[in-house]
Every structure is written in C-alpha cells, then in structure tokens.
Structure 1
Amino acid sequence: MPSLRILLLTTLAMIAFAGNSILCRLALKETSIDPASFTSLRLLSGAVILWLVSLHKPVIENGDRKHWQHGNWISAVALFAYAAGFSFAYVNMNAATGALLLFGAVQVTMIGHGLWAGERLGPLQLVGTFIAIAGLVVLLLPGATAPPPLASSLMLGAGVAWGVYSLRGIGQEDPTRVTAGNFILAAPVTLALSLLLRQQVSFDLAGVIYAILSGAVASGIGYVIWYAALPALKSTTAATVQLSVPVITAIGGVLFLHESVDLRMVLSSVAILGGIALVIVARNNRNDASATE
C-alpha cells in the first residue's frame, strides 16, 4: 500500500491537473485574455519552472553536467498541439465537459495504439471500451447541453495529442528532465502561434496570472509532483487514479465557475470513467495471469 507521502503527492498532482481546466476556463470566461496568449504564457512559464527544477538535479553525461535532457521535436509539437487545442476549446466549453472529453480521447488513443501494436483486448476490455465510447457519443449528441461541435473537436484533438505525447514518454529514465526539454522546444512553436494571431492578442493582469499559474503550478509543479509519486505506484494504480481528474474538475467547475452538472453529464461521466476503469482493471488481471503462467 502506498505511504502517506505518496498518497499526498498523488492527490496534489491530480488536483493540479484538474486545476489546468479550471484556470483555463476561468481565464477565457472571466478575463480578456485570448487563447493563443494563454497557451504561450502557459507553456513558457511551465518551461521556466521545469528548467529551474532541473537545475537542482543535474546528472553527469559524458563527463558534462546536464540540467535537462534535450527534448524531442515530435513530442514538443504534440505538447503544443495539446495545449493549443485545450485553450481554444475552452473558449466555448465548460470545465467539466472539457476534462471529460480530453481524458476520454487520451485513453481511447492509448487503447488504439495498443491494438495497432498487436495487443488483443479481452472480453471485459472490449465491453469497457464500448461503454466508454458510448459515453463519449452520448456527451456529444445534439441537445441543449451538448458542447459546441468545434470546441468538442478541438478538445478531442487535444486529447489525441496528449495521448501521443504520453505514449512517446513511456520508459523515460528521468521524465522531469525530458518534460523540461519538451517544454523548452515547444516555446518557439507557441510564440509563432501568438505572432500569427497577433491581431487578436488581448489580455489583462488577471488573465496573465491565471495563465502563469496554469503553466508554472498546475503544469510544471504538477508534473514534478506526479513524477515523484509515480515510481511508487503500480501501473494500474497510476492509471486508475487519473480517473479522478474529471471528477475533481467538475467539483471545481461548480465551486469556482458556477457550472451546473446535468443528467447527460452524469451518465456520460459514469460510462466513460467506468468503461476506462474496466479496461484498466481487466488489462492488469490479464497481465498478472500471464506472469504466473
């Protein structure tokens, strides 16, 4: 069983990840900041914090002290695509719906990659996948409370990008240093976006503060905390605990954004999160069975 320290770190990391949705929606709803500027400030402040953290944990490679590991351009572009899609989607979408769509798209992407790589889904995994996809469909069906199609597409795209980024990060020896490198590489890409959309630039002090908090605290420090807890967690526990992020986001949306949670949202959440949980648990059981044969 994880220690109290690991439980606390894990809880703080999940709150930080949920905080990204709350801060982004709050900024784009309550302040004048534009989504491109929010994205740039988020990635730049995240890069600075991760770089500063990396300064305190240098490693020796080929006789040289290195404070961060050079990122990968594909991963950096995936990181940028996630952050940009996330911001532009939240212009017209409430926090809870966005978090649910994002999380669902991430998990479907990772499941799809497993299938492409030759993984076979067992009966319970197939049922879980079907339930999760059905939940996404219900959430997106036309209706008074359905999220706008463009915003939904952007958030689903952000989820796919984050799924790609996560898959490329599997097996990294020092994920904090790698993440720092990817944030640094993503910085010029996001600045190019802001330059391209310079005629739409708009921000105020509150919007800038929310963006920096999202990048420096919810993203940068959030990843550092998560990576500190991750080695002590079983893979199934690490995957399952992330199911809490959309739930925490929904609670935050009610408390800080005065959002309402309707029946469609509740049913979709139960289907998506329950289906994904079934896939994770069934996969773990199959892996345990294979290991004992």
Structure 2
Amino acid sequence: MKTTLYTLSALIAFAANSLLCRMALAQGYIDAWNFTVIRLLSGAVCLAIIMLLYTNTTKRNGTFNSEILKDTGSWRSSISLLVYALCFSIAYIELDTGTGALILFSAVQLTMIGWGIYKKEQLSLLQWLAFISAFAGFVYLMLPSAAIPSLFGATLMAISGIAWGVYSIRGKACISPLRTSAFNFIRSLVALPILLIIGMGYIKSIRIEGVLLASASGAIASGIGYSIWYTAMPKLKSTQAAVVQLCVPVLAAIAGVVFLSEQLTVQFIVASSIILGAVLVFTLNKKQPC
C-alpha cells in the first residue's frame, strides 16, 4: 500500500512539473537556461534544508542510522538529472506539447523496459498486452496535438527521456531517497556557472512569474517529487516503473483542465480510460511469464 501511495504521489509531482514547465516556458515568462538554473538550485536548497532538519530530528530522537551517511548520491545520477532537466527545457520550446510527450515517454519506455528485460524481468502475456494497450492509448491521446518535429528538438527530447530513464533506474539502489536526491541535486550545481553564462543574454526577459514557477518546479515538483520517486523505485520493477509513468500525461491533462481551464474532450476520456485501465492490469498481474 505504501508503494502505491509513493508511486501515485510521485506521478502527481511529475504531472505538476509538466504543468509548471508549460506555464513558465510556453507563456514566455522565462527562458530554458535560467529556468533550469532556478529549478536545480531551488531543488538543491529545498532538499538540503529538509535533509538537515530530518537528520537533526532523528539524532535527537535516537533513531538516526549512521549507515545512511554513506549515501551521497552519485555523479552518474546527477549528470543524468542535469541532462534530463536541461534538454527537456530546451526541447519544450522547440516542440509542440503532444510531440514532445510522445518522444519523451517513448524514450523513457524503451530505456526502462529495455533495462528490465536485460535484467531478466520477464513479463506475462497479459502484461505485454496491457503495456501495448496503455501505449496505444497514450499515442491516441497525444497524436492529434503532435506535429512534425524539428530534428534538433526531437533529438534533445529523446536524450532527455533516456536520461530520465537512467536516473529512475539508478534510484533502485539508493539507501536514503532523501539524501540521494539532495546530493544528486547538489552535485548537478557544478554546471550552474556555464548555464548562468549562457542565460545572461536572456535575463532582461525574465518575469517574476517565471522565477516563481521555476522555483516551485525545482523545490516541490522536482526536489520533493523525485525523493518520493526514489522511495518507490526500489520496490518496483523497472518495467513497472516505466509503464506507470504513462499515467503522467493523463494527470497533466487533468491538471490543465482544472487549473488552466483547458477543454475536456471525449478523446481524452477514452484515452485516459484505456491508459489507466491497462496500467492497473499490468501492475496487478502476477501470473507466470510467457
């Protein structure tokens, strides 16, 4: 039950991230470079504060486990995080929402399911059918808003999806999700000087709305959201973690309807029902693999 709660909370955070990015970048409140800077910096600061408060509290209560001090993230994970965040922000401007989502989640699925198969995470026939159904529903949901992408934008979004897949997979080995996420964000800050230099040319066009949206994206949707995701990852198979993420566009679309007054269509209801139903079948199926 806890795993389900953690997973659902993480997916909601991912959807919120998509919504915040859409509001900040699509509305022109901020550029991709400075958005990424603020996102990573706010995530690192937020997680560092929470980590220090949590450590001090557990020490006072006598429940502190010194073993978690060994968990300081990794450069591979932080690089994956940086590549995902930066490529996503830049590609988001180059691509339509539907096109970007198709490319991003296709890359995520291929990366994580491919890794799962490589690690011999066998799927039952029903799970394969459920996955195909979920992905078909996802394509049906996104395809009408998709357009022929630019090669540059498509490549960046594919790289972003692969990087996110790698970052998710690496979360299966973490001891302390909070510390791992905090140090991954902190390590990613080594790239800030380069991002700041590039982003200097766009500073005059930044609006306060962009700063606030980027801060919320980094501190809440990314920082806390990724910590929750890393809590769920060790309890999920790579294939399960890949498939459940197909729910993110559905949740993001629902958020768009609620917060941005976007239109609710019959196509969305049908596609959402297919995706959510197929994901449920996939995650609950325990039969022997074919």
TM-score, length of structure 2 as denominator length:
0.75
Q: Is the contact between residue 71 and residue 175 of structure 2 (CA under 8 Å) also seen in structure 1?
A: no
- Mapping 1:199-218, distance limit 5 Å: 199-201=201-203, 202-218=205-221
Deviation at 1:187, TM superposition (A): 1.3
Change (3 A) 1:246 1:170: same
2:129 corresponding residue in structure 1: 127
1:169: Cα distance to partner?
1.4
Q: Is the 8 A contact 1:73 1:182 kept in 2?
A: yes
Contact kept in structure 1, 2:131 and 2:282, CA below 8 Å: yes
Residue deviations 1:62-105 (CA, integer Å, cap 9, x gap): 9xx95x84331111111011111222233255667755754454
Write the mapping of 1:249-260 to structure 2, written as runs, cut at 5 A.
Answer: 249-260=252-263
Distance in 1 between residues matched to 2:155 and 2:187, nearest whole Å: 25
Question: Which of 178, 181, 195 is 1:179 aligned to?
Answer: 181
Once the two structures are superposed, residues 99-124 of structure 1 have per-residue CA deviations (whole angstroms, 9 ceiling, x without a partner) of 57544542332111122234443322
Aligned-pair distance for 1:195?
Answer: 2.2
Q: Which amino acid aligns with 2:124?
A: G
- Following superposition, the deviation at residue 20 of structure 1 comes to 0.7
Aligned twin of 1:149: 149
Contact 2:98 2:142 survives alignment (8 Å) = no
Q: Of 31, 34, 53, which aligns to 1:34?
A: 31
C-alpha separation between the residues in 1 aligned to 2:149 and 2:141?
11
Match of 1:196 among 169, 186, 198: 198
Segments of 5+ residues of structure 2 without an aligned counterpart are: 56-63
Aligned counterpart in structure 2 of residue 47 of structure 1, from 41, 44, 47: 44
- Structure 1 distance, partners of 2:50, 2:101, is 27
- Return closer, same or farther for 1:89/1:194 CA change in 2, 3 Å cut-off: same
* Amino acid across the alignment from 1:215: G
The match for 1:113 is: 115
Cα RMSD over matched residues? 3.8
Contact 2:99–2:149 (CA under 8 A) maintained in structure 1: no
Bigger mean CA offset, 147-156 vs 161-170: 147-156
1:248 aligns with 2:251: yes
Determine if contact 1:37/1:194 at 8 Å carries over to the other structure: yes
In 2, the alpha carbon distance for the partners of 1:94 and 1:12 equals 26
CA distance in 2, matches of 1:95, 1:165: 23
Deviation of the 1:185 alpha carbon: 1.0
What residue number does 1:25 align with?
A: 22
For 1:182 and 1:131, the matched residues in 2 are separated by 35
Q: Secondary structure at the match of 2:93?
A: coil
Identity of aligned residues (%): 42
| 2:173 alignment partner, SS class | coil
**Structure 1 length-normalised TM:** 0.75
Query: Deviation at 1:54?
Result: 1.2
SS in 1 for 2:54: coil
Tell whether the 8 Å contact from 1:23 to 1:210 is kept in structure 2 after alignment.
Answer: yes
Amino acid in structure 2 at the alignment position of 1:53: I
C-alpha distance in 2, partners of 1:146/1:83?
21
Counterpart of 1:170 in 2: which secondary structure?
A: helix
What's 1:81 paired with? 83
